[in-house]
Amino acid sequence: MAEELEIIAETREISTKGKLKEFRKKGYIPAISYGTENKNINLWIRYKNIIDLMKKGSIEGTVFDLKIEDKKYPVIIKEIQKDPITDKPTHIDFQIISLKEKVEVKVPIHLVGEETALKLTGGMIDFPVREVKIRCLPKDIPKYIELDVSNLKIGQSITVKDIPQEKFIILEPQETLIVHIISKKVEEVVTTTETTTTPQEPEVISKGKKEEQS
């Protein structure tokens, strides 16, 4: 489990869009905590506090002490909403947990041995799934799941069922493909086929962010 850290929060009242904008300019991020016996708690979190933690690595799934006034709660971050243009955090969801009960969190996948695999096979690494959802006790949450691909040959892969799951259970389907080695020739054929087909109208993806309503 990752190092436990403290996040200091201030309670907030349901406010207008103008008030939210004002507090964001002052360096705060709106947040919410849920999972207590009481109702959900609306919060303000210092932007710098979160950014400093994010610089240390992935913080989703890490156990923190959330300090609200004179009380502390063990929490995990369930979701960080980000601005689609700047990628800066705009809202955070905390889940208050029990250290004795299992939780469900997402953890990243890290690969090792990539250079060796590429050198020995001359192929390419396809890495379609870079995080998975797991269930375990808070103390057993891994910072990441490490997969060694150095011994893989072209056509070989690692799926969910190939990953040791002693202290946690991966909730994705067992046949989910995490990483595999493909031939460069296959990639070249696919690329050539795509460039010779009739181009389709590009998909238009709307951009923008939802303003927090709470």
Nearest-angstrom CA–CA distance, 210 and 63: 27
Per the domain annotation, does 20 fall within a domain? yes
Task: State how far Cα 46 lies from the chain centre.
Answer: 20
pLDDT, position 192: 53
CATH code of the domain in which 111 resides: 2.170.120.20
pLDDT tens by residue, 85-131: 998 899 999 999 999 999 999 999 999 999 999 999 999 999 999 99
pLDDT, position 67: 92
- 16 to 12, 23, 25, 211: CA distances (angstroms): 12, 11, 14, 10
Whether residue 123 sits in one domain with residue 91: no
Closest CA to 157 of 177, 173, 131, 174: 177
Nearest-angstrom CA–CA distance, 42 and 101: 24
User: Which parts of the chain have pLDDT scores under 70?
Assistant: 1-4, 15, 36-38, 57-58, 186-214
Per the domain annotation, does 214 fall within a domain? no
pLDDT, position 189: 53
Helices within the chain (DSSP H only) = 17-25, 47-54, 114-121, 184-196
Q: Is 124 exposed, middle or buried (0-12, 13-18, 19+ CB in 10 A)?
A: middle
Per the domain annotation, does 89 fall within a domain? yes
Domain span at residue 78 reads 5-97
Nearest-angstrom CA–CA distance, 55 and 167: 27
Per the domain annotation, does 62 fall within a domain? yes
Whether residue 59 sits in one domain with residue 11: yes
pLDDT, position 38: 62
